[in-house]
Homo-oligomer: A and B are copies of this chain.
């Protein structure tokens, strides 16, 4: 069984991750964190070196949830097209999926950290690369199987796909209108059926 401190550390991360995601690095104060966790500064600083380390752990927590969910869709049994279909279905519900974490961590932290925190900004860039790689791998396998053909390289197509998805997420987030998400994904489904 895990030690008390490990459980406290995990509890803190889980609790503050949505706060950092919603209000940004600077926008989240230590008093916000003590209030949300019910712990004191002593407890938090006993488990994390400083605010930055905590914010980074919080992002990584959200990122792992996202990557795990994506892996589940992309590694499910079935053809490459099946996996892509899993992916689009997943993103149709992405707003509900990211509700607990306070919205899309890639969009929120990516934009917030750009000029406010280099470590976080780099972590987001790395996460994007990972996701694009995962999608590209599925496409490459489908290509090698002869199951589908591509107008561009697998990575290039994956990047285009993810860009459109991220655009839908951005628009839905900013306008609070999930139609952007639904309509874009519907378009992507048609695009996949037609092009591949």
Contact = CB atoms under 8 A, between A and B. Distances in A.
A174 B174 CA distance: 16
- The DSSP consensus for interface residues of chain A is helix
Interface in A64-119: 102-103, 106-108, 110-112, 114-116
Interface stretch (A23-31, A33-41, A134-142): A23-31
B22 A173 contact: no
Which of A108, A114, A128 has the most B CB atoms < 10 Å from its CB? A114
A22 B113 CA distance: 10
A161 to B, nearest CB: 10
Nearest to A23: B115
Given A165-B167, A170-B167, A175 B27 contact: no
A50 interface: no
Interface string A33-63: 0000000000000000000000000000000
A180 B163 contact: yes
Nearest to A152: B183
Contacts of A23: 26, 115-116
A140 to B, nearest CB: 19
Which of A106, A156, A170, A183 has the most B CB atoms < 10 Å from its CB? A170
Interface of A: 22-24, 26-27, 102-103, 106-108, 110-112, 114-116, 121, 124-125, 128, 156, 159-160, 162-168, 170-171, 173-176, 180, 183-184, 187
Given A26-B27, A128-B175, 19 more contacts: A22-B115, A23-B116, A24-B24, A24-B112, A102-B115, A107-B170, A110-B170, A111-B170, A124-B174, A128-B174, A156-B183, A160-B183, A163-B164, A163-B167, A163-B171, A163-B184, A164-B167, A166-B167, A166-B171
